[in-house]
Structure 1
């Protein structure tokens, strides 16, 4: 792909977070970009609109009538999709997101990858902001990056610069219908963060051993001169890095950690802590994000950045000014002193850590958890008891039906009614609603000023992020009008 001028690349599945980011990178490099998807929703639809890239909806053979020079096929597409079928019938050149990312942007650069079952997006965003902050003193440190979410400090999920460093969120999900290996095996990291390893993506991984094999293969790609910064509080992570041929540095809370977190404390949504490097005080940090998991993510980003020449002063300044990622503990609205939080929930562990963080940030609030079981893991019963335990961290729980449950075999499907019954039995009020309209009605009846609502989904959740604040605003206006009329 050397002749960029007038080259047309079409992205089928463009509204995925990684695909939309890739679209921006390719457009910035000079390609003409079009795209299509089944449905578009924020934040990526907003980002694509801002880039001037129109999204054709839904998938259709006619979306390829413009005869693109290359089609990038997203991993959500499979045989039977009309665009896939036309590509194959007409032998239109095609590739995957991960493959073109490597070919166009990683060759000749230093690739720093953040991988793990949890925390990838936030940690990559932290790492990017650390490098961006450091570039104020050293322009050579300004990074290129691709993140699976919109980093609030940048207002975008990608950046392309002529400098050497490229920061990547390394996704363990499969690459495409024609490449069932994980995306991150295309990224060939020079440096790697490994945050966690758990069973996830039950639609493509058979069991935990299968997941660990993927991460071990990633570890095996790091060259001898590279470095792996790995969490020390997870036995699966330890197993995956056990045979690494490069330097491995551990981070966490234990005495054996090279990068040890001490004196972690929380002041509302702010976290403050110290990091000891090999037993000696290395730095003190503060950050406007609550939660033990976020202090861990920040420490991992700090460790990898420092290993690659970023000064500690820049790391401290970056974390102090870090503003999180859209859909990660994002405050979507505050109406009548009711706070509506959006969090990208895809796994019971992530739900647990989100609710724990919100407990720290809002210690006196009644905490509601509103869940759409939408990810391929949450739609299955593999973690049904773990889901009960995680949701029970809230003061009240509302669940939607399983998203597209007909696509999950009955024997594998999550049974929300059983989850709700178990949560109620444990002493936490919980209810199952048929749809978003019923959820909004229920919350409208029950929410009171001071409450915090955590909306947990990895999708659009039928617009609840807009519908609930609108209903609460209407309620508040009615109350004001009633009071005015005595």
Structure 2
């Protein structure tokens, strides 16, 4: 199967650099999920790729296997000297890079051509028919479904994913460059660098208030994104959002709507009402109404692009999901263990809905690692309400990511707000003991931090215990 390991065309001219074209691409923060997908794109273009990250990971190991040179020391002496020529090297960075970063400042001071990741993505997708997926939740799953549908239906597509697809074991899918599928990220207003032919907005819930200040500024940013769609393009909007476009929703009067939903063996069977017809007999294997909504918008965009119904139904059936998005680790008659990236109250609510729909009446333990001090502070009451719905709740300490601590904001602060007696604050060293001693038949690990690195050991411990 073609994917990022294949050359996607023979033309090395990718991005202009001074008088010529970049032949060397250097990434500062190469292990980031969006950055590594771009790195895979340039590898497939047969350019020389290298980069820095502060820690190793499975994503970086996969890049090294493709021949990418990666260093972990923030010092210019760590950089391959062939990348220290400003005439041929493009330096790509993310807004998460700190201002005092030595490598970043060296390249800046020495007059290298530097571009933000989002700008590079905008430049790459300009030459293709671009389908962009925006929204505070659902971007990664929707993008991966859309990329999978188009790829399986024979479209010459390159898809940049914000997660690792279970189907391709990669965050990059490619069979050509005629069409591009991208996540349109609202963080740092990155999505305003795109000019899509088709775009969708899945949700506009308040988030990234450390960047935007308040929810109204975030909404303005989404309005600005909607105006980036090309004049003859199409904008798809989740029904109920305050922007005009082709609407979609579940069992409602939207332009595109899921109808006649049934659940069989943990899968959804349904029909799709389009503006012109009722398309029957779709099957989707991911649980949760939020995932069903993600599948619907991916189908709607594919239908509007011109893919036939039967081809889409077959492609959807083979979709396996994204790692850390409602990822089943154990699924037996007596025990279910699911890992999910959920790090916002609405995402936790979506996971709760899916679990209760698929496993009614069963006892559920959730282990949650909050992500960012600012997000925990800004949504403490909402987090408490969403977590209180589970039967047992265990909190890890906040994962800081790019932030410094905020006085008075910690997991104990959040725990005190949770309206449920079966709650506790635990250390990572207690994880195995907590899951093994739990009476719950459904166990969840949630969060966008390094809790994902504990999944393998939790799965092993539970497998041995049952």
1:117 to 105, 112, 136: 136
Show CA shifts across 1:378-417 (max 9, x none). 4x32111111121123221100111239714326x3x422
Change (3 A) 1:64 1:270: same
Show CA shifts across 1:71-95 (max 9, x none). 1112210211121222223223211
CA distance in 1, matches of 2:94, 2:213: 22
Show CA shifts across 1:167-210 (max 9, x none). 11111112xxxxxxx22111211101110101111221111111
In structure 1, what is the equivalent of residue 390 of structure 2? 394
CA distance in 2, matches of 1:345, 1:473: 24
2:279 to 277, 282, 293: 282
CA distance in 2, matches of 1:147, 1:58: 27
CA distance in 1, matches of 2:184, 2:274: 26
Tell whether 2:355 aligns with 1:358. Answer: yes
Which residues in structure 2 correspond to 1:22-101 (within 5 Å)?
A: 22-42=38-58, 44-64=59-79, 66=81, 68=83, 69-101=89-121
Which residues in structure 2 correspond to 1:270-419 (within 5 Å)?
A: 270-278=267-275, 280-333=277-330, 338-375=335-372, 378=375, 380-404=376-400, 407-410=404-407, 413=409, 415-419=410-414
Q: Is the 8 A contact 1:336 1:473 kept in 2?
A: no
Tell whether 2:195 aligns with 1:188. Answer: yes
Report how many residues are paired: 444
Q: What's the secondary structure of 2:81's corresponding residue?
A: coil
Query: TM-score if structure 1 supplies the norm length?
Result: 0.85
Q: What's the secondary structure of 1:209's corresponding residue?
A: helix
The structural deviation recorded for 1:339 is 3.2
The structural deviation recorded for 1:15 is 0.8
Change (3 A) 1:255 1:429: same
The structural deviation recorded for 1:367 is 1.5
Q: What's the secondary structure of 1:200's corresponding residue?
A: coil
Query: TM-score if structure 2 supplies the norm length?
Result: 0.88
The structural deviation recorded for 1:332 is 3.0
Change (3 A) 1:63 1:213: farther
Q: Is the 8 A contact 1:268 1:360 kept in 2?
A: no
In structure 2, what is the equivalent of residue 446 of structure 1? 438
Deviates more, 1:13-22 or 1:253-262: 253-262
Show CA shifts across 1:22-79 (max 9, x none). 000011111111111112334x234324423243224333233525222111221021
Q: What's the secondary structure of 2:283's corresponding residue?
A: strand
Which residues in structure 2 correspond to 1:105-184 (within 5 Å)?
A: 105-135=124-154, 141-174=155-188, 182-184=189-191
Q: Is the 8 A contact 2:248 2:255 kept in 1?
A: yes
Tell whether 2:254 aligns with 1:223. Answer: no
Q: What's the secondary structure of 1:278's corresponding residue?
A: coil
In structure 2, what is the equivalent of residue 257 of structure 1? 254
In structure 2, what is the equivalent of residue 138 of structure 1? none
Q: Is the 8 A contact 2:94 2:117 kept in 1?
A: yes
In structure 1, what is the equivalent of residue 208 of structure 2? 201
Q: Is the 8 A contact 2:202 2:237 kept in 1?
A: yes
Q: Is the 8 A contact 2:391 2:422 kept in 1?
A: yes
CA distance in 2, matches of 1:47, 1:353: 31
Q: Is the 8 A contact 2:71 2:79 kept in 1?
A: no
The structural deviation recorded for 1:154 is 2.1
CA distance in 2, matches of 1:222, 1:431: 47
Change (3 A) 1:227 1:409: same
The structural deviation recorded for 1:254 is 6.0
Tell whether 2:206 aligns with 1:214. Answer: no
Change (3 A) 1:462 1:166: closer
Which residues in structure 2 correspond to 1:446-465 (within 5 Å)?
A: 446-447=438-439, 451-461=441-451, 463-465=453-455
In structure 2, what is the equivalent of residue 431 of structure 1? 424
The structural deviation recorded for 1:337 is 5.1
The structural deviation recorded for 1:212 is 0.8
Q: What's the secondary structure of 1:410's corresponding residue?
A: coil
Q: What's the secondary structure of 2:356's corresponding residue?
A: helix
In structure 2, what is the equivalent of residue 21 of structure 1? 37
Q: What's the secondary structure of 1:393's corresponding residue?
A: coil
CA distance in 1, matches of 2:332, 2:72: 33
CA distance in 1, matches of 2:75, 2:354: 43
